[in-house]
Amino acid sequence: MTIDNLLLKIVNFSSKPIEEILPARDCNVLKNLSAAISSRLFVTENQGRLIIKILRENSEKLPDFKDEVLQEIATPTWSRSFRQIEQLKKLFIKKNEEQDLEIFIEITYNQEIRKILQNLAKSVTGLIYTGRDGQWSANLTEQNIVQIYETLAPLGFDIDSTIKNHYETIKSWSKTEVENRFLITNITHTNFQKAITADLGIDTDIDQNIINDRSIRYQYTTEKPRNFGENLTENIANRTGTKIWIDKNQHSLDEVLSSLIELRRMPLLVVFDTIINNKYLENLENLSKSMKKVGIDKNVGIYFRLPNDELGKKFNSVIADNQYNKHLDEDLIVGVVSSGKIPKFFLKNAWRPMSVIALDTKMGLRHGKTSVYTNCCDLIIEYADEPSLLEKRFIIK
């Protein structure tokens, strides 16, 4: 007797239902697989191994079938060929739900490849599992294309021709030639000059810190390598990415604000974390004191309030007493919002922050509309005791 026919015989045994004999989990598995055997699809090889394993483990609980079970699993045979699963391994580019182009990886479940992708996520920006159809997605960047292509191509992935062409183009570039093209001393385009002038003004004295700081914003390089500086201002200016963590135990908030003013990084958006809401009042009082120390005593707008409980009344009164109720316009120096939701008038207004500070974040500015809004900024500071686990950032201790 074949294993599949033996299973059907056991499941359909009329004298004693299988539910009364086997553990609930094993019973459910065998009943589901017996249904697959009865269908036109049959079972896969792995499912066949699972059937044999469960029968072996439960042979003593099947006295009416014990001898047959031990005999058949010793040299198992099957009445039909196992069902073959198509192994999907695709790499392509398509639009996501927001209609932005992204890199997509589509696979059928494969533990080995899944581990490779999880390790790859440490160095590939935005690589996440989408939660459906075995798809992973990542930001469409040159670095991501190269890393993903070189990791997955040897694994036999079906790679879209667009990604292949992009990869070949990127690899054909000369690093030195590209870097020289984007040296600040070699950029002569009038739009670049206009952007810098509109940002800093014509008569602004520009030191090396400001030159280094704006290199991410305007995508140029400098002849001097990036190094950790001797103070907080230099460390911020020499960051290697848009997101940084500053240890609040080592640097006061007024020290951070002073560095932003020195780097001409105003206006500022401050984000209060909705998860750590027990620190709302403490953070507001700290922010207020720090702003006063650096000379910011007007043009401040705090755009959320707390319920009128004991804590909320104190929080709201600090806002009222200091007149932190400035309307959002071009004169706003500091705007304050919560991480949960950005007010709609921010989206309709031309005002944009030159820097962002997220206070005491545990998850980082990773999800939600506030996170999407702050991505327009090339300097996002996570000011907390410890860096969040979900963000990659330049660390300043």
Domain at 139, CATH number: 3.30.780
> What is the structure's pLDDT at 198?
77
Do 194 and 181 have their domain in common?
yes
Do 97 and 153 have their domain in common?
yes
Residue 232 is assigned to a structural domain of this protein = no
Residue 235 is assigned to a structural domain of this protein = no
What residues in the chain have per-residue pLDDT under 50? none
Residue 295 is assigned to a structural domain of this protein = yes
Residue 327 is assigned to a structural domain of this protein = yes
b/e map 153-182, b = 16+ CB within 10 Å:
eeeebebbeebeebbeeeeeeeeeeeeeee
Q: Which of 130, 152, 172 is a domain's end point?
A: 172
Type of residue found at 108: T
Give the N- to C-terminal CA distance of the chain in Å, as an integer.
Answer: 70
Residue 304 is assigned to a structural domain of this protein = yes
Do 302 and 374 have their domain in common?
yes
Do 269 and 377 have their domain in common?
yes
Residue 80 is assigned to a structural domain of this protein = no
pLDDT digit string, tens, across residues 153-190: 999 899 999 999 999 999 998 888 887 888 888 887 78
Do 11 and 138 have their domain in common?
no
Do 144 and 251 have their domain in common?
no
**Domain residue limits at 265:** 241-396
> What is the structure's pLDDT at 96?
86
Do 13 and 49 have their domain in common?
yes
> What is the structure's pLDDT at 319?
94
C-alpha to C-alpha distance for 397 and 385, rounded to whole angstroms: 10
Do 102 and 41 have their domain in common?
no
Return the sign of the alpha-carbon dihedral for residues 122, 270, 317, 304. negative
Residue 43 is assigned to a structural domain of this protein = yes
Do 69 and 122 have their domain in common?
no
C-alpha to C-alpha distance for 364 and 231, rounded to whole angstroms: 24
> What is the structure's pLDDT at 389?
64
Number of domains in the chain: 4
The pTM (predicted TM-score) of the whole model is: 0.59
Residue 81 is assigned to a structural domain of this protein = no
